[in-house]
Amino acid sequence: MKNTIYCLSSKKTLHLTLVGVISLASTLGLSACQQTPDYNYLIGETMGTSYHISYQLPDDADEAAIQAAVDERLKQINDSMSTYQNDSTISTFNRLGKDKPITIDSDFSRVLDVSQIVYQQSGGAFDPTVMPLVNTWGFGSTMTVERLQSPPTAIEIAQAKALVDFESIIKKDDTIYKTKDGIGLDFSAVAKGYGVDVIANVLKDDYQIRNYMVEIGGEVATSGVNNQQQPWQIAIDAPIEGSTVSERQTISAIHQPKNTASQMHLATSGNYRNSVIFDGKRYSHTIDPTTGNPIAGGAPSVTVAADSVALADAWATALTAMPYHKALDLAKTQNLAAMFVVLADDVKAKGSDNVSNEAADDNIDDWQVVQTPAMKALRADKKL
C-alpha cells in the first residue's frame, strides 16, 4: 500500500513514481497536506523543470540553511551549463569560434567527462553536440507527421551532421576549445542527473543527512530509508501515449537494496510522449547522431541505474537514441543495469536469450519489461 505524505496535483510530466515516503504520479505539484514530522520536504524550480527533495531532518539542523545551500548549488550549475542563459559558460562557449579557449568550472568539467565516457562507450549514440540535427528536423517539444512527410534533404542532413562533432571539443586542464567553427554543446541530457548527484552530496557531505530522496525532472537519487524506515522504491509507469495523471498505470518497480547504508541512482528516458506513426513505423523526436535521422523502433521507455545519476541520465538517453534491439545488446555488452519497457511484439522479435522478461499486466496495452542481467541482479539485492 502506498503511503503518500503529500497530496499531488498536475504540474509536470515525469516517467517515475516514487513509492513509500512520497508518491510522485506521472505529474507533480504540491498542495497543502500534512507531512511526516521526521522528514522534511523541499520543492523548487531549476533547469526548466522542478526539483523535489525529501530527507530525514537531523537534530538541530537549520532547514533554511539547507534550502539555501540547495538553491545556491543549483544556481551555480545553471550559470555553468544552462543554454537558456546567455551569460552561462556553455552559451558563451557556443558563441565562440574555433581555437578560442574558455575557462570552465569543476561542474562543467565533470559533466563533460561523463559525456565523453558515454559518447565513446555508446559508439556516438550519446552526443551533446547533436542540436544542429534536432534543429534541422524541427523537433522541439512536439513532433508532427508533416515533417516526416517532407523531411530535410540529404544535403541538409549532411550539413547539419557536419556540425555534430564531439571529437572537435578539446579539454585541456581547466579550459576547453573547439577545433571547428559552428560546434556547440548542449548538456540537457545529463545536467539534470548531475544536479541530482550534486544535491545528494550537499545533503550527505555538508549536513550529514543519510536518509533522503532527491529528484530533478524525473532523475532520482535515494539513500537509506524512507519515513517508514523501509528502503526506497521507484515505480515505473507504462509508456502509454497521451496518458494523463489519472490514467497513469504502474508497470514495474525498482527497490533500493535492503542495506540501509546503500544508495540508488536512477534515470528514465522515454520517447512515447513525443512520437508519431508514419508509414507503419513509430518515430520519436530523438535523433540518432550516427545516422542523422529520427529513431524508428526505439524503446518507448528506458530506465538505467548506475554509479551516479549523471551517468544513468546519459546512458538512458543513449539507449533511447538507437533501435531497441541494438540498445538492448549494447546495454548487455556494457553490463548496464537497464530496464526497457517495450511492446510484447518487440520482445518476441528479439527473443529472450540471457535476458529476463517480466510480463506486464494484460491491461497495460501488452507492454513488457525487459531487464538486463545487471538490472535483474540489482532488483534481487545482489551486487552488480
d(CA 112, CA 169): 10
DSSP state at residue 26: S
User: What pLDDT, on the 0 to 100 scale, is given for residue 250?
Assistant: 57
- Which secondary-structure segment (H or E) carries 199? helix 191-201
Q: Please give the distance of CA 82 from its chain centroid, rounded to a whole number.
A: 16
User: What pLDDT, on the 0 to 100 scale, is given for residue 326?
Assistant: 92
User: What pLDDT, on the 0 to 100 scale, is given for residue 373?
Assistant: 94
Sheet holding 293-296, edge to edge: 275-278, 281-288, 293-296
DSSP state at residue 166: G
User: What pLDDT, on the 0 to 100 scale, is given for residue 92?
Assistant: 97
Using alpha carbons, list the distances in angstroms from residue 189 to 118, 205, 235, 313, 372.
11, 26, 21, 7, 22
Alpha-carbon torsion (290, 286, 184, 71), positive or negative: negative
User: What pLDDT, on the 0 to 100 scale, is given for residue 247?
Assistant: 43
pLDDT tens sequence across 301-337: 899 999 999 999 999 999 998 889 999 999 999 999 9
User: What pLDDT, on the 0 to 100 scale, is given for residue 315?
Assistant: 97
> How do the residues of the chain divide into helix, strand and coil, expressed in percent and rounded to 5?
30, 25, 45
Query: What single letter denotes the amino acid at residue 355?
Result: V
DSSP state at residue 361: P
DSSP state at residue 80: H
d(CA 112, CA 166): 10
Using alpha carbons, list the distances in angstroms from residue 150 to 138, 272, 291, 293, 294.
11, 22, 18, 13, 13
* The length of the chain, given as a count of residues: 384
Given the C-alpha cell 560546434, which residue does it identify? 183
Query: What single letter denotes the amino acid at residue 70?
Result: V
d(CA 318, CA 339): 13
- Which secondary-structure segment (H or E) carries 269? strand 263-270
Burial of 247 from C-beta contacts in 10 A (0-12 / 13-18 / 19+) = exposed
pTM of this structure: 0.82
Across the chain, which has 384 residues, the per-10-residue mean pLDDT values are: 29 35 34 55 90 90 92 96 94 96 98 97 94 77 58 88 95 96 94 97 95 92 88 69 47 64 83 50 69 78 94 95 92 95 66 45 61 89 50
Domains, the chain, ordered by start: 12-78+191-255 (3.10.520.10), 266-379 (3.10.520.10)
Assess contact for 339 and 362: CB atoms under 8 A: no
d(CA 127, CA 129): 5
Torsion of CA 19, 220, 331, 248, to 10 degrees: 40
Cell numbers placing 155: 544535403
